[in-house]
């Protein structure tokens, strides 16, 4: 204790009354370390203020960080989600990644996570003691047309969209633009400054689809994510979008490839159940792998 006090006195801004918060880094929507979408999970965020959570998310500078808190309603845990720029009511890869991290110590195969958009159940699959796959039931998105298509296409550098351009919101809003080929998605060179000014805190997914196989890139400059390696909150509405417009059947599972262009290849699975414009259930699934553990001292 004396040694620690002496060390604290030697470090500017530090004192003996410091607080330690442990975190786990998990790569989500992949089974290969150092691919997929990075996530920082603070496993016990009790005592952290919202400003401190935002500061830590900005310091880690992943697409998102999550902060695990005691449950307040019908869940096993409660979770807050922060990008480097803002708090989100719901996001997909943080929910799945947090379930992978927390369910091990809790010895759970189904984990209910309270979010600001409602309680999200995650069903986990194990091989022996290891969790290898998870499926989350996402909030049902709201849907509305997006009308500012001309400046959107200009900012993206695409000629148009093969499907109607619509805005889906399940806690994180996303707009969908469909192009003809995977090569067009890969070659995308957007004006991210113009996108940010046009869309504000809304993501845009530019994608191509061949039956249930989808290639996508998700841009969200004002969400704090210029380009996201894997976007679970966009994957569920993607399945809804394709089913509503007849490119897949309701209940069909799609396989989404994302992140290759920023050297973080990811694979997401999604399905939507319903009929017509009635959405009954949205599910997104994938793998995750823990790659690091550490702590911050405040």
Mean pLDDT of 197-206: 97
For the record, the structure tokens of 33 come out as 């370390």
39: nearest Cα among 216, 217, 292: 292
Q: Where are the domains of the chain?
A: 2-137+287-297, 142-284
Q: Specify the pLDDT at position 15.
A: 52
Give the burial class of 188: count Cβ atoms within 10 A of its Cβ; 0-12 exposed, 13-18 middle, 19 or more buried.
Answer: middle
For the record, the structure tokens of 110 come out as 């189904």
pLDDT per residue as tens digits for the range 118-127? 999 999 999 8
Q: Specify the pLDDT at position 146.
A: 97
Q: Specify the pLDDT at position 10.
A: 40
From 26-30, 108-112, 216-220, the region with the lowest mean pLDDT:
108-112
* Cβ atoms of 67 and 296 closer than 8 Å: no
286: nearest Cα among 270, 272, 265: 270
pLDDT exceeds 80 at position 14: no
Neighbouring C-beta atoms of residue 101, cutoff 10 Å: 23
For domain 142-284, the CATH architecture is Roll (3.10)
pLDDT per residue as tens digits for the range 63-88? 999 999 999 999 999 999 999 999 99
For domain 2-137+287-297, the CATH architecture is Roll (3.10)
**SS3 assignment for 132-164:** EEEEEECCCCEEEECCCHHHHHHHHCCCCCCCC
For the record, the structure tokens of 284 come out as 């997104």
Candidates 59, 64, 184, 261; catalytic one: 64
pLDDT exceeds 70 at position 8: no
pLDDT per residue as tens digits for the range 35-58? 999 999 999 999 999 999 999 999
Q: What is the DSSP letter of 229?
A: S
pLDDT per residue as tens digits for the range 206-227? 999 999 999 999 999 999 899 9
Stretch (H or E) spanning 99: helix 92-106
Percent of the chain with pLDDT over 90: 88
Same CATH topology for 2-137+287-297 and 142-284: the answer is yes
pLDDT exceeds 90 at position 5: no
pLDDT band at 16 (very low <50, low <70, confident <90, very high): low
Mean pLDDT of 240-248: 97
Mean pLDDT of 136-160: 97
Active site residue 64: yes
pLDDT exceeds 60 at position 204: yes
* Cβ atoms of 285 and 269 closer than 8 Å: yes
Q: Specify the pLDDT at position 127.
A: 87
Task: Tell me the whole-structure pTM to 2 decimals.
Answer: 0.91
* Distance from C-alpha of 182 to C-alpha of 265, rounded to nearest angstrom: 14
């Amino acid at each position: 204790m004396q040694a620690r006090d002496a060390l604290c006195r030697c470090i500017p801004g530090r004192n003996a009354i410091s607080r330690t918060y442990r975190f786990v880094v998990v790569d989500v929507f992949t089974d290969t370390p150092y691919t997929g979408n990075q996530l920082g999970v603070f496993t016990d965020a009790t005592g952290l203020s919202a400003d401190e959570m935002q500061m830590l998310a900005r310091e880690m500078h992943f697409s998102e960080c999550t902060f695990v808190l005691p449950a307040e309603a019908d869940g096993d845990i409660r979770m807050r989600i922060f990008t480097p720029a803002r708090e989100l009511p719901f996001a997909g890869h943080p929910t799945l990644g947090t379930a992978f991290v927390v369910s091990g110590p809790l010895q759970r195969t189904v984990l209910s996570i309270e979010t600001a958009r409602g309680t999200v159940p995650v069903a986990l699959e194990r091989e022996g003691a290891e969790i290898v796959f998870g499926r989350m039931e996402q909030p049902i998105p709201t849907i509305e047309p997006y009308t500012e298509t001309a400046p959107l296409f200009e900012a993206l550098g695409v000629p148009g969209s093969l499907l109607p351009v619509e805005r889906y919101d399940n806690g994180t809003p996303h707009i969908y633009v469909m192009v003809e080929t995977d090569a067009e998605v890969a070659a995308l060179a957007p004006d991210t400054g113009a996108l940010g000014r046009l869309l504000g805190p809304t993501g845009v997914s530019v994608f191509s689809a061949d039956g249930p196989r989808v290639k996508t890139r998700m841009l969200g400059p004002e969400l704090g994510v210029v380009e996201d390696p894997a976007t679970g909150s966009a994957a569920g509405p993607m399945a809804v979008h394709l089913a509503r417009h007849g490119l897949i059947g309701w209940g069909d599972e799609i396989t989404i490839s994302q992140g290759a262009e920023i050297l973080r290849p990811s694979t997401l699975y999604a399905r939507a159940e319903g009929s017509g414009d009635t959405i009954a259930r949205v599910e997104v699934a994938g793998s995750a792998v823990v790659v690091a553990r550490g702590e911050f001292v405040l």
